[in-house]
Amino acid sequence: MKILGIIPARYASTRFPGKPLVQIKGKSMIQRVYEQAGKAAALSQIVVATDDERIAEEVRRFGGQYVITSADHLSGTDRCAEVAGILPEFDVIVNIQGDEPYIDPMQIDLLASCFEDKAVQLATLIKEIHEEGELFNHNTPKVLLNTAGEAIYFSRQTIPFIRNAKMEDWLSTHQFYKHIGIYGYTRKALLEITRLPSSSLEMAESLEQLRWIENNYKIQTRITSIETFSIDTPEDLEKINNRI
């Protein structure tokens, strides 16, 4: 099984323009993500998918591989699908977030392990929630699972609602999970899901994975214990620089 790691990277971020090129302790963020992904044993190859020549130039500078994609894509998944169409020799695609400069390669390998089961079409990671701040944070998508460990719903709301307990007691009465935004897809499934029209649940929650569920695709999950830290704003960059 050949697995391609794709790092979608665009320059025109609304909250943080030029984010892939910011410097973190002497290296650009895109270089740090690329190098961390390169430590994952499961990946046969890694490419950056970008629509911007400035990012492509940086990838060339540190010796990485890249593919120039359309500027019209609305999501990283769409950008990955274009690359999958260009590189048909890969069986599985892993979509690696371009704003997590210290992503743990063990998470990539854990996600890739889902595809040892040939029935798996789509996969993602989840993590147990143990803090009320995460549990009730609408910026932290939560996920519900079936008995097979497949995701059956994602929401920015806290789900499930615990009817017979006070909200301050919810963590002690149920195991909640948050979504970790790294995806894996078979090449076939990736090309299919990006042709689907936007769905009502996707638009309501602004979560693209709900489109897949609404169209009867199954999303296998694996539980990670590793915390991730993404850089969405200049303030996040300052925080991560202060941590190192």
Domain count for the chain: 1
Instruction: Report yes or no on whether pTM surpasses 0.85.
Output: yes
Would you say residue 183 lies in a domain? Answer: yes
At 199, list the tokens. Answer: 């769905």
What are the residues whose beta carbons fall under 8 Å from the beta carbon of 148, sequence distance 6 or more? 220
pLDDT per residue over 176-209, tens digit each? 999 999 999 999 999 999 999 999 999 999 999 9
The backbone torsions φ and ψ at residue 182, rounded to the nearest 5 degrees and listed phi first, read -120, 135
pLDDT per residue over 212-240, tens digit each? 999 999 999 999 999 888 887 778 777 77
Would you say residue 174 lies in a domain? Answer: no
Surface-to-core class of residue 168, CB atoms within 10 Å of its CB (0-12 exposed, 13-18 middle, 19+ buried):
exposed
The boundaries of the domain holding residue 29 are 3-125+179-197+216-243
Would you say residue 230 lies in a domain? Answer: yes
Would you say residue 10 lies in a domain? Answer: yes
Would you say residue 167 lies in a domain? Answer: no
pLDDT per residue over 100-154, tens digit each? 999 999 999 999 999 999 999 999 999 999 999 999 999 999 999 999 999 999 9
Q: At what angle do helices 105-113 and 29-37 cross, to 10 degrees?
A: 50
| Predicted local confidence at residue 232, as pLDDT | 78
Would you say residue 146 lies in a domain? Answer: no
Report the Cα 199 to chain-centroid distance in Å: 20
Would you say residue 86 lies in a domain? Answer: yes
Would you say residue 20 lies in a domain? Answer: yes
Q: What is the CATH number of the domain that holds 21?
A: 3.90.550.10
